[in-house]
Amino acid sequence: MDGTRAAVPGYAAALPVLPEGEVWVAMPYKPAFPGIIPGDETPPGVIEDQTRFPALHNLNNDVEVGLRCRPAVARWIGIHLEPFYSNAEYRFTWRGDILEIHDGGPWGEADGSPPRVIRPGDDGRYEIRDLWYPVAPVAVGELYQRHPDALVTLARDDTPAPVPHMVAYLTDHPGAPSSLRRGIETALAKLATDLDR
């Protein structure tokens, strides 16, 4: 990234510019991450306010959407989700450039299912399927007011590191368990080990 910024209506500070085609997305009540939603997929709604459940276009349309994200963002997503759900239920494991998502919950490995194996696409991006909703620009602006360094970090391709601004960002959302901070620190240490293999 070149460090340029994009204006958001109603905010004096400009957001970091994302790579072409990327938008900010989040799961309800969780941090936002940048990525590309494929044109043939329609998110079920838009997050206008991260403290409220998104308004759905169709109440029966709460479906997984593929988020194509850069490797650094895929790693940050894993660093957040693994401790949020507890690593007994949900694990991200890196084997070289291959990502394995282990879902040990009621639908995952507990019933003998293999992990989801995700290889980078031709553009180097990983597709992570989940309940992704685009985040409205005003809501992204509000996030930037609270966590400017974190949004700048996510707009770049730096390897995740245990920096205070990212730990604060990943734990600042409704419903974050009290153990999340420690879990994120553990996930960062595990990622460093995975990447050294």
Residues 6+ apart with CB under 8 A from 42: 57, 65
Domain count, the chain: 1
For 47-69, write each residue's pLDDT tens digit: 888 777 766 655 556 678 999 99
What gap in Å lies between CA 163 and CA 192, rounded to an integer?
13
Count other C-beta atoms under 10 Å from residue 97's C-beta.
11
Considering only 45-49, 141-145, 147-151, 165-169, which range has the smallest mean pLDDT?
45-49
For 91-108, write each residue's pLDDT tens digit: 888 888 999 998 765 444
User: For residue 83, is pLDDT > 70?
Assistant: yes
User: For residue 1, is pLDDT > 50?
Assistant: no
User: For residue 167, is pLDDT > 80?
Assistant: yes
Domain range for 94: 5-196
What gap in Å lies between CA 90 and CA 101, rounded to an integer?
7
Q: Which residue has the tokens 């209506």?
A: 9
Residues 6+ apart with CB under 8 A from 113: 103, 107
Q: Which amino acid is at 165?
A: H
Residues 6+ apart with CB under 8 A from 77: 33, 69, 92, 128
Provide the token pair at 90.
Answer: 């949900």
CB 47 within 8 A of CB 138: no
Look at the pTM and tell me if it is higher than 0.95: no
- pLDDT band for position 3 (cuts 50, 70, 90): very low
Instruction: Report the half-sphere exposure of 111 (CA within 13 A, side-chain side).
Output: 6
